[in-house]
Amino acid sequence: MDDVDSAELVSRLVVVSSRLTRAFRRVIGNENSLAALRALAVVEQYQPVRVGHFAQGYLSSQPAATKLLAKLEEAGLVVREASPTDGRASQFSLTDAGRERLAENRSIMIDQMQPYFESLSVEERQSVDRALGLVSDFLKDRHPVDSVDESAEAPESDANVD
């Protein structure tokens, strides 16, 4: 088999990722719901998560992250707790309602995509599975947010979190 240019693979991955995101936007409906789902997924990935770490994972400013987390807290989707290592800082985790909302929307997305993947051969599905594993491992090992040292973050006072 011929080798494939790594820059071309990355380019195709970016295009496919963008198309998937747009498809999920159409399925979910409105942009606010999609933003909330993205935020819940970041909280799920890093929980308990402090505002600064959440902002890095969500790719937003800390003030924007603070506002979004406050909205999610008001909606009962996340819970704010004092950090056990620094009582001045807050950290956020999903509530049962947040986990349910994330699971329901993922289920909708799965229902939309599953018929396509069922039409693939066993070998094609295995290839996709291997590729997803490689990309996932790369992100887990090298994603900048995952290497953040929480103890090095500046304390987030309640004034910064509200």
- Which residues, in sequence order, are CB contacts of 89 under 8 Å at separation 6+? 50, 82, 83, 153, 155, 156, 157
- Which residues, in sequence order, are CB contacts of 162 under 8 Å at separation 6+? 66, 70
Q: Which of 74-78, 90-94, 124-128, 143-147 has the lowest mean pLDDT?
A: 143-147
Q: Is the pTM of this model over 0.85?
A: no
Instruction: Please report the pLDDT score of residue 48 as a whole number.
Output: 94
| Average pLDDT value over all residues in the chain | 84
CATH architecture of the domain 31-146+155-161 equals Orthogonal Bundle (1.10)
List pLDDT tens digits, range 60-115: 999 999 999 999 999 999 999 998 888 788 899 999 999 999 999 889 888 888 99
Which residue ranges make up each domain of the chain? 31-146+155-161
| DSSP state letter for 54 | H
Q: Count other C-beta atoms under 10 Å from residue 62's C-beta.
A: 17
Q: Which two tokens stand for residue 87?
A: 């009582």
For residues 20 and 147, the model is more confident at: 20
Burial of 56 (0-12, 13-18, 19+ CB in 10 A): buried
pLDDT at 149 over 50: no
Cα distance between residue 6 and residue 83, in whole Å: 42
Q: Residue 156 — very low, low, confident or very high, per pLDDT cuts 50/70/90?
A: very low
Q: Which two tokens stand for residue 94?
A: 């999903």
The alpha carbon of 102 is separated from its chain's Cα centroid by a whole number of angstroms, namely 11
Helix (H, G, I), strand (E, B) or coil at 141: helix
Number of H helices, E strands in the chain: 7, 3
* Residue located via tokens 């993205």: 38
Amino acid 13 reads L
pLDDT at 153 over 50: no
Q: What is the mean pLDDT of residues 119-130?
A: 95
79 - beta bridge partners?
93
Q: Residue 4 — very low, low, confident or very high, per pLDDT cuts 50/70/90?
A: confident
